[in-house]
Amino acid sequence: MQIETDLRGELRRNEPMARHVSWRAGGVADRSYFPAALADLRAFLGAVAADEPVCFVGLGSNLLVRDGGFRGTVVFTHRALAGLHLLDPPTGGIYAEAGVASPKVARFAALNNLTGAEFLAGIPGTVGGALAMNAGCFGRETWEIVARVRTIDRAGRLYERAPADYRIEYRSVVLKDKAGAGASSDSSSLIPHPSDEWFVAAVFKLPRGNGMQSRRTIKELLQRRIATQPLDQPNAGSVFRNPPGDYAARLIEQCGLKGHAVGGAVISPRHANFIVNTGTARAADIESLIELAQAAVQSRFGITLEREVRIIGEARAKSGAL
């Protein structure tokens, strides 16, 4: 990879990803880049080899990097893509860049008497991560409030896109084929997002509301989270998507797996869809528990639990292997 010397930002080698994911476990990224501004990110992507795996990372609250590490480049958005401001009427709404924390958007909306973003207070990632995951809680989902997004591709080109350019489902966002965006429902014309295009910003459409009421809603929402989730130990939120008409947590609990441990990873005794790191977990311990829960639920209920958390990288070579 030939990188211009006047590129601003920070390029690191062998970056321990445990520092950047909420599970606080896992391997290194061969290369990581913290752009200083969007212009640097554009120049950087333009210089990255076409076959170099690239992964954008927000706050790592839905991500696990296997212990053998990621053979590619991780791009961190939170330093450079930090813009957050109101849009003037008649468009209205909020412009938020991909590296802004979702709870910050919720608070900013409430402070400005805009309603509809309160649920983002409960999602401890970035706007980019929320867009990629269609993150949601308490009956709301990110893309319900998206008016349009700005994206960047591998060549550093920027695009303005509308929600209609994506197939948006529960915890899944797929960019329709650029050539046939919006034109086809054939899944073969879909490319998975974000394989070669990533989010740099979103415009959220939010009607006028009552800021005091929004702040009350946010407070209640956070209190409910504290009461039900094991927030005192490193975790990545819900590990599995809820299957239609059921709850992953209920199914895992019925299999008697609450409290089950592999190494330093434990299926939370408090919430069975959470896996917590008790301090010494390796990524392999977490992934083993994920597979164990999937196998148990499949065997007992015939239901396939689909992962919500994203896993990248390579397993560590077994000791003794060449």
Of 32, 62, 242, 273, the residue at the interface with ligand FAD (CB under 6 A) is 62
Give the nearest distance from C-beta 66 to ligand FAD in angstroms.
14
- SS3 (DSSP) at 130: helix
What type of residue is 189? S
Active site residue 238: yes
Of 198, 248, 249, 255, the residue at the interface with ligand FAD (CB under 6 A) is 198
Of 43-51, 134-142, 246-254, 289-297, the window that binds ligand FAD (rule: CB under 6 A) is: 134-142
Of 231, 261, 292, 311, the residue at the interface with ligand FAD (CB under 6 A) is 231
Of 57-65, 207-215, 245-253, 275-283, the window that binds ligand FAD (rule: CB under 6 A) is: 57-65
- SS3 (DSSP) at 243: coil
Catalytic residue, candidates 141, 171, 282, 287: 171
CA-CA-CA-CA torsion sign (257, 284, 71, 63):
positive
Whole-number Å distance between alpha carbons of 66 and 26: 5
Give the nearest distance from C-beta 216 to ligand FAD in angstroms.
19
> Whose CA is closest to 267, among 296, 246, 300?
296
- SS3 (DSSP) at 15: strand
Active site residue 171: yes
Nearer to ligand FAD, 8 or 104 (CB): 104
Q: Which of residues 72-131 bind ligand FAD (CB under 6 A)?
A: 77, 98, 122-126, 128-130
Whole-number Å distance between alpha carbons of 283 and 264: 10
Output b/e per residue, 206-245; b: 16+ Cβ within 10 A: beebeeeebbebbeebeeebeeebebebbbbbbbbbbbee
Give the binding site for ligand FAD (CB under 6 A): 22, 55-63, 77, 98, 122-126, 128-130, 132-133, 135-137, 194, 198-199, 229, 231, 235-237, 310
Residues with catalytic function: 171, 238, 308
